[in-house]
Amino acid sequence: MEEYYEHLQVINDTLVNKGDYFFKENSAARRFASEVLSEAENQYSDEGFYHTYEDFKDFLYTHHVDSIAYFIYEEKYK
């Protein structure tokens, strides 16, 4: 479970706290980060990114996760 929170912190640091995405409420920002992390986990395993990025945490810093965040934000939070 500790690893989950570490990964969630990466999402918060690289996407939410950076100011690229704006939220009216902190609860919306938390939901967004959780949704991005969940989708990143799915794509990491389902799309075979584990072959390219040995460590999931490294994958979280890629443009792939930024794209996931963009689409989730546009669909649900804009």
Q: What is the pLDDT of residues 4-51, one digit of tens each?
A: 999 999 999 999 999 889 999 999 999 999 999 999 999 999 999 999
The answer to whether 71 and 35 have CB atoms below 8 angstroms apart is no
> How many domains would you assign to the chain?
1
- Distances in Å between the alpha carbon of 47 and those of 19, 31, 39, 51, 75? 28, 23, 11, 9, 21
Domain region containing 31: 2-77
* Tokens matching residue 13: 């640091």
Q: What is the pLDDT of residues 62-75, one digit of tens each?
A: 999 999 999 999 99
Q: Round to the nearest angstrom and report the end-to-end CA distance of the chain.
A: 30
pLDDT score for 1? 85
pTM for the complete prediction?
Answer: 0.94
